[in-house]
Structures are given as structure tokens and as C-alpha cells.
Amino acid sequence: DTVLTQSPALAVSPGERVSISCRASEGVNSYMHWYQQKPGQQPKLLIYKASNLASGVPARFSGSGSGTDFTLTIDPVEADDTATYFCQQSWNDPNTFGAGTKLELK
């Protein structure tokens, strides 16, 4: 299976820019997607196919990358962005998710 590696946690101050990385163990073309999950809630799609903003998602969120290295950027970070962020690839079978990056605000 394709393993997606994310850093476990990040802490930033409101108003700053933060980049969350996701590295795939093998190429996934541009089929990398990003989700935000808050405690007790279902995940919410933020970005699909590496760089496409999902409907209703603020333009503060953006995605980039291709192949094996991908980045989710939030600029500027707001207090409500405290959450865990997951990447997911759908190029290789089976679909796999990263373990998540927990974003905390200082």
C-alpha cells in the first residue's frame, strides 16, 4: 500500500502562514486530497487533486505538489483552523490516508 507520511504536529500563531506536508512512498500523480477534521466531527474536504479548492472552502487554504511531495498551506491561519489535517491519495489501490497533522494555535 502507498504510505503517506505527515509530520505529527505543528503550532503556529494566528495570522501566520503554515505549510503541512505529505510525502507518498510512491508516485500518486496529482491524486492527493486534503481534509480537515475537528474532534467529534467527520472530515471535511479542503483540497482535491493536489490544488483544487473544494466548494465553500476559504481561499486561505491552498494545495500544491505532484508525484510524491505535497503541501497544504493555510495563509493566514485563524483560530478556527485548530484541527487535524489528513492527506489521502486515490491514484494507487487501495486509497490510503496519512496519519494526520495536528495543528495547534499558540
Partner 1 sequence: QVQLQQSGTELVKPASSVKISCKASGYTFTSNYMHWIRQQPGNGLEWIGWIYPGNGNTKYNQKFDGKATLTADKSSSTAYMQLSSLTSEDSAVYFCARSGYGDWFAYWGQGTLVTVSS
46 within 8 A of 61, measured Cβ to Cβ: yes
Q: Judged by CB under 8 A, does residue 48 bind partner 1?
A: yes
Q: Provide the sign of the torsion angle of the four alpha carbons 32, 22, 93, 38, taken in this order.
A: negative
Q: Judged by CB under 8 A, does residue 53 bind partner 1?
A: no
Instruction: Candidates 49, 58, 69, 75: give the one binding partner 1 (CB under 8 A).
Output: 49
Q: Judged by CB under 8 A, does residue 102 bind partner 1?
A: no
C-alpha to C-alpha distances, 38 to 42, 58, 93, nearest whole angstrom: 7, 16, 27
Q: Which parts of this chain interact with partner 1 (CB under 8 A)?
A: 31, 33, 35, 42-45, 48-49, 54-55, 86, 88, 90, 94-100
